[in-house]
Amino acid sequence: MNILLIPLSKLFGIITTLRNLLFDLGIFKSHTFKIPIICIGNLSTGGTGKTPHTDYITNLLKSEYKIAIISRGYKRKNYDFKYVRINDSVSDVGDESIMLKRKNPNCVVAVCGDRVKAISKIIKEHEDIDLIILDDGFQHRWVKSGMNILLTTANNPFYIDNYLPHGTLRESIKESRRADKIIITNNLDFSNEKEANKIRKNIAKYSKEKCYFTSIEYLSYKNIFNNDQLKDISDYHVVLISGIANTDTLTTYLSKKTTIIKHFKFKDHHNFSEEDINKILLYYNSIRKIKTLILTTEKDSIRLLKFEQKFKNTLVCYLPIKIQFQNQLTFDKELKKYVRTNKRNS
């Protein structure tokens, strides 16, 4: 079956290469704005941790600068411009944008398919904004970002991938040259310098930018409906619900903490239905003789909130995460320098 996808992948590669060439030649024009713009993206489709890294950078800078975050709002009803509010529905603005707004309530968060339109509108209506962060904007070349941060995973780096639909690449691995910084995510072992050097060496064939490595740190479990903390789940058996691109890191972590007795695994950004929830609860209620909880990811919890009444008297928690950097001080210093030296009206 995969062999049959190769011709389609080659055609996709020709189209995306031609598009990038038109930008490189200036036939397609990139818009420049007099405000620092940090773009966080990847060459592939999903699963590299763009939103958690967006949150990391936002937390790094929001005490000093007024920040606006712009996302496309994946799988929402349309791609028109909309400011995101904490209590917005997923169908209107997407799950990741709501998560970013909940974690950063004092930041402007907006969704729009047209990043040029979104930036223009925000800087006109919010004159105090110092910095724009684009979540998943690497392919949106209509905007000329001041700093492009490219993410790729340690277990599937872009240089061993293939074009869609045979692989997950949205554009050529050679386009990594547009990145100002490259982050290798989901790196579970910072001490494995041999593997890190192998990745650096392969990436150096396409980009001379420094590589940074990050991993996921899991925090205390929280009830999705009231945010009460649950510090230890070792006494519980877990019914896991996931609708994210890659669950390997999550299940590896949980297997060391507890027993996963059932994993309801859905596609990334899955729009949970009543039928899904009924199926999950039917299983959960069938095993009530043992101490059990339902566990999900923070992103998935946003899409489960609307089923609060169905989960009444059921313990449902999510597992928050944060990003850990190797060489964090260097990365933080360079980002702060970029924003400081390019600050609006400076």
Domains in the chain and their CATH numbers?
29-217+324-341 (3.40.50.300), 220-319 (3.40.50)
Span between the terminal Cα atoms of the chain, in Å = 56
238: left (phi over 0), alpha (psi -120 to 50) or beta: beta
Cα pseudo-dihedral 244, 250, 252, 254, rounded to 10: -130
Question: What pLDDT, on a 0 to 100 scale, did the predictor assign at position 345?
Answer: 66
The string of pLDDT tens digits covering residues 186-202 is 987 778 899 999 999 99
CA 90 to CA 193: how far, in whole Å? Answer: 41
CA 151 to CA 144: how far, in whole Å? Answer: 18
Assigned token pair, 180: 């100002």
* 33: Cβ contacts below 8 Å, ≥ 6 apart: 119, 120, 123, 132, 143, 144
Helices and strands in the chain: count of H runs, count of E runs: 10, 15
Instruction: Identify the segments of the chain with pLDDT beneath 50.
Output: 346
Question: What pLDDT, on a 0 to 100 scale, did the predictor assign at position 3?
Answer: 80
Which residue type occupies 99? M
Question: What pLDDT, on a 0 to 100 scale, did the predictor assign at position 201?
Answer: 97
Q: Which helix (H) or strand (E) holds 40?
A: strand 37-42
Question: What pLDDT, on a 0 to 100 scale, did the predictor assign at position 98?
Answer: 97
Which residue type occupies 107? C
The string of pLDDT tens digits covering residues 259-278 is 999 999 999 999 999 999 99
* 156: Cβ contacts below 8 Å, ≥ 6 apart: 44, 168
